[in-house]
Amino acid sequence: GGRAMAAVRDVEIDPEGTFKYILVRLQRPGGGEQRDIVRGTKAAEFHNHIFEKVNPEMEKLGYECKCLGGGKIEHNSKDKKIRVFGLSTGYGKADHSVTVEILKKEYTDYEITWSDDKK
């Protein structure tokens, strides 16, 4: 039930640097509970690389995944700052304001901002 969804972390991003990210909606087949998660890593050259990793993991847990868009995250752990910006060519721009709210749950003592800047 709800426990499995709670076990999925809201945010998994690299601890430092600038990298691509995607906003993913998880949903139980046939409606029911849904939530949005943020995933980002320097290891991904393209946004779909992130989705291709997340999707099978979530399907195993019984969720349908939908990518709501992407962008970039600049994570400065020293200054405790995160900047969300840019877009994904393939998935379009994520709603960065939603991403920021999700990031705030995990990085409670950070200054987190977003913009539609490309770089």
Domain residue ranges of the chain, discontinuous segments joined by +: 11-115
pLDDT at 58 (0 to 100): 95
First CA to last CA distance, the chain: 41
| Catalytic hit among 47, 49, 75, 96 | 47
Q: How far apart are CA 38 and CA 26, in angstroms?
A: 11
| pTM for the model | 0.93
What is the full per-residue pLDDT of the chain (119 aa) written as tens digits? 456 666 799 999 999 999 999 999 999 888 878 999 999 999 999 999 999 999 999 999 899 999 999 999 999 999 999 999 999 999 999 999 999 999 999 999 999 999 999 88
Strands 17-27, 11-13: pairing kind = unpaired
pLDDT at 1 (0 to 100): 47
Q: Are 48 and 21 in contact (CB under 8 A)?
A: no
pLDDT at 6 (0 to 100): 67
Tens-digit pLDDT profile for residues 2-11: 566 667 999 9
- 47 catalytically annotated: yes
List C-alpha distances in Å: 114 to 46, 85, 95, 99, 107: 20, 6, 10, 9, 15
Q: How far apart are CA 113 and CA 46, in angstroms?
A: 23
Domain 11-115: which topology? Answer: Pyruvoyl-Dependent Histidine Decarboxylase; Chain B (3.50.20)
Q: Are 47 and 23 in contact (CB under 8 A)?
A: no
pLDDT at 3 (0 to 100): 62
Tens-digit pLDDT profile for residues 100-110: 999 999 999 99
pLDDT at 2 (0 to 100): 53
Please check if 20 is assigned to a binding site: yes
